[in-house]
A and B are shown apart, each in its own frame.
Chain A
Amino acid sequence: MWFIRVNMTDLTSRVEPLPDAYKHLGGRGMTSTIVAKEVPPLCHPLGPNNKLVFAPGIVTGTPAPTSARVSAGAKSPLTGGIKETNGGSSWAADLADMQVRALVIEGQAKKNGKLWGLHLAWDAAASQPKVEFFDANEYAGKDLFEVFPKIYAKYGDTISISGCGVAGEYGYGNAGIVYNDPAKRPTRYSGRGGLGSVMGSKGLKFIVLNREGTPGVPVMDEALFDQGRKKMIDALRTHDITKPKGALNTYGTAVLINIMNEAGGLPTRNFSSGRFEGAAKIAGEAIFEGNKQRLGKELYNHACSPGCIIQCSNTWHNPDGTEAASCVEYESDWALGANCGIDNLDDIATMVKLCNAYGLDTIETGATIGVIMEAGVIPFGDSQGAINLVHEMDKGTPLGRILGGGTAFAGKAYGVTRVPAVKGQGMPAYEPRAVKGIGITYATSTMGADHTAGYTIAPEILGVSGKQDPLTPEGKAALSRGFQAATAFIDTSGHCLFIAFAILDIASGMEGMVEECNGVLGTKWTTADIGRVGAEVLKTERAFNEAAGLGKETDRIPEFMRTEPLPPHNQVFDVLDEALDTVYSEL
């Protein structure tokens, strides 16, 4: 197993055996450990001392279902804290199959504005990966939909691509890291926290992986791994949410729009209401029915990455049946829809496509536009105006750069007080005043406002893993803590977080995940270790953040959510600061 360091300052690389201390780490556990150990917490995120780390999960690259995930980690230019941002793509599996457990990008290309690419392939003679640099200047400033086909044409069909768009070249706080989807489109993202800009700041535009001849992931105990894999497959295939033609496969993640709206927790018009009158028009059901009408047949969703059996990624089609955008996720649909008062799926899809083309995080983009609408730059509901704002970010105009700085930055620039962000990161699609547990996750997560860090929505809204009253703060700090720790384990395992819907309800699936990991690593973990291993990751991240100046004083929800009651339940965020502090003090 290999540990690769690439130094962008002198354009050199070192391929070394994986250090023993890292042999049980993968995914988020790996990226956060390396960032915490090697990145000075007070460094500038876009300077030469930050490092960008990629790590496939423990079971990524194996036949474990729904596990082609990669973690990207660095100090975040958006939050100023540690960041792990997770993506699903063949790029993840290819890195794992090359037996690369960590790829660390260091330094900074000396010549300002010069962009490089990396090409990693398997050197059969040396039985190890080899790294080559290529000049990537010809791809600078271009639409990723224009660039990806050129890279495939140059390097062949056996490659996967990661990279940054123009947003990352500009250094925006809302620049994501893009990966290819199965149709070779630039649509899969490690979206959050501006890590696309960390990549761009290093003078690195693309990392091309060639899977030809790669040896695959070694498995220490095949029988145990197989036993775990079968349990996981059974859980995913039988649970109503994850099974074929189940909710995710049929309606996609945007099936959440209606239930969040019904529960009064769908943030609307920059978090001024929990209900959007246009919700049903932009919901996952409307996407399914709209596609059916425009294509003349039912269209079920596809996998974002090889080996996924949940297959929740949708494609929205134009009236003439041509492709408009893939994928209109719940978060993107909400951010660019309800949060901006926009109820037109075609216009939302246009913005999703533009975000993918320019390398922007859709959540941060929508949350930022919501704040700009609040400022009166354009009115809520003005979808053409919103589309133009996304173009401004591509052009790099002064307005575009203010927007590219993200939700909190744009709020400051325009003197807005209703700014839905924690640690500088824009909030996702759940209202903390209507769902208290997720608010605790937003407030306390090491990542800034991040729903995936501790998805208490499962019991608070969806009835998965029990049912809890979303409006009460009672017991929610412990709930969020438990979810945050379990999530850190799943993000380390290499599985997509969506397996949680099945394995939280099906105990054998949970065992299966641990057995898969034990099979690969030779560890003796039990399900009781999930929380412990996850908590270690969280403690590492927390220590980095405290050293970076993000202590418990930053674990707070914006003031307006404590003072402005949110319709329809007319609730404020009433979780005490002392309760928020227990999430990590009692970890």
Chain B
Amino acid sequence: MISCPLFKLLWKIQKPFVIFSFVFIGFLQFLIIWIFSTLNYVPIFEAIYNQVPPHLKVLLDEQFMYRLSIKGAAAFGMNHPLVLVIMGILAVAYSVRLISGEAEKGLLELLLSHPLERNRFFSTLFLSTAFFLFIAVSGALTGSFTALMLKKQGTAEILINLSNIGINLWFLFLLIASYSLLLAVYSKERGKFGSAAMVITLTFYLLHFIGSFWEELAFLKPFNIFSYYLPQKQMFGEIQLYRNIIPLAGLTFSCFILGMKRFSRRDLP
């Protein structure tokens, strides 16, 4: 299923960025919760919040600090655009580059001239990406938990819900990684499909963002991957984890199997 030497090689190559992700996301989470629990800017936010039109309130509730509480701030951190961008780079950039990147084509050729099954190579690539994403999510949780504990706000409910959000975030980016790999193995022109995966992900995100206050786009929600990651609602117990995990995991598995089948048959590099 997995090649340990290849896993170690991928870790060696990716280690600097994975460690950066862990530290950066962790620090960001820490900062958000620390600032929110230290400064009293609820009245300022409330003043702004009360003035915005109702449909924008829906957007703010869904995406940002729901009910302007510490719980909302913790959930907001897990949905911060910077977190999503870093997770996106981890999910898309390297795994896709290794299969379809111009600079890495020599490495791919060399690796597959070794006695390494293509399915094993593909699974290792996917599982290592899953591991790197897990480390990044762990960074987010570590930063949040540390800030919450230091500020003595870490109730069991918040910690459990935050962990569930972390798991949900991980599954969301596993799906992004799996469809990026799927696109990469179908690519004929190197490099372009990494960008295509990024564009698709960004389109999903923007549609999700716009769809939360533009009713005409509401019909797209079930087809949007970001509809299966709503940290604010999850933090306040309005959505169960399995409701999001099942479709995300199902799609991830399908993309992974399709990608692996195609990779075992296609010409390389």
Bound pair (A, B): no
B residues contacting A by CB (< 8 A) are none
A residues contacting B by CB (< 8 A) are none
